Amino acid sequence: MTALAGLLIAVTIGLTGIGGGVLTAPVLLLFLGMPAPQAVGTALVFVAIVKLIAAPIFVVRKQVNYRVLALLLAGGLPGALLGSVLLKQLHTQGLNGLLLLLLGLTIVFSASINFLRKQAGAVQGEEKSRRLPIVSFPIGIEVGFSSAGAGALGSLALMHWTTLQAGQIVGTDVLFGLALSSAAGTIHITNGGLDAGVLKMLLIGGVPGALLGSWLATVVPSAPLRKGLAVWLVWLGANLCWRGIGALAF
């Protein structure tokens, strides 16, 4: 079951470009019943490993703008660390209802962003990349708190605030997500927020799934799949919100 989930998530990443964090954490929460810190931490490490496989391709193709990447990380890394600590504090204080509600809202927000990514290209123009540390700080918080956001929000920020070409947007965002997932994942691991058994099973399906998804992306149109997946993610996020509200009510 878990290996199949890893396979499907990785194939979906390759087909649609939607980040693994926004997919993996809600699946672990809702279908495997994992506690929020372990679900988010395991999702972060899974995403980091999957992106580590893809990152060298973009480096070799020279599709990474390292100056822009540094600006993103200047705000994103502190944000990711803060988000990780915030998640741990809410769980430690027994505020699981509020935690589920916030995670649900975060998933809904990240999924909704995918509807805006196509239109964002029209905003490209004047180079405003110096503002990226301010923009990437809340993105980092979201990644550390929920494992979601680096893919959709990172690429949207690059579309709006830089004049990078499409290939460099993807490559720079992949390394941005890799760095945030690695940093936040390390914090979660030190706090016990990793289920090594679940991670192993995710990777058994995820590694071949990433390769399969990358190949399918060359023959299958991704736009309809991306829209359908975003709708499904909104449903998952709403389900988490409902559970959080129910826990708060009692």
What span, in angstroms and rounded, lies between the C-alpha atoms of 142 and 237? 14
pLDDT band at 121 (very low <50, low <70, confident <90, very high): very low
pLDDT band at 160 (very low <50, low <70, confident <90, very high): confident
What span, in angstroms and rounded, lies between the C-alpha atoms of 237 and 167? 30
61 contacts: CB under 8 Å, gap ≥ 6: 167, 171
Per the listing, tokens 């998933």 go with 107
Q: Count other Cβ atoms within 10 Å, centred on residue 78.
A: 17
Highest mean pLDDT (candidates 4-8, 68-72, 92-96, 157-161): 68-72
Say how far residue 32 (Cα) sits from the centre of its chain.
19
pTM of the model: 0.81
Six-digit token pair at 21?
Answer: 């964090």
Percent of residues, the chain, with pLDDT higher than 90 = 20
- Smallest CA-to-CA distance from 138 within 130, 129, 128, 149 is with 149
The whole-number pLDDT of residue 80 equals 93
What span, in angstroms and rounded, lies between the C-alpha atoms of 248 and 250? 5
What span, in angstroms and rounded, lies between the C-alpha atoms of 197 and 58? 30
Six-digit token pair at 71?
Answer: 């600006």
What span, in angstroms and rounded, lies between the C-alpha atoms of 232 and 227? 9
- Smallest CA-to-CA distance from 157 within 55, 40, 73 is with 73
- Tell me the per-residue pLDDT of 124-142, one tens digit each, with 9 for 90 and over: 444 577 889 998 998 899 8
Per the listing, tokens 């927000």 go with 109
Percent of residues, the chain, with pLDDT higher than 70 = 86
What span, in angstroms and rounded, lies between the C-alpha atoms of 239 and 226? 20
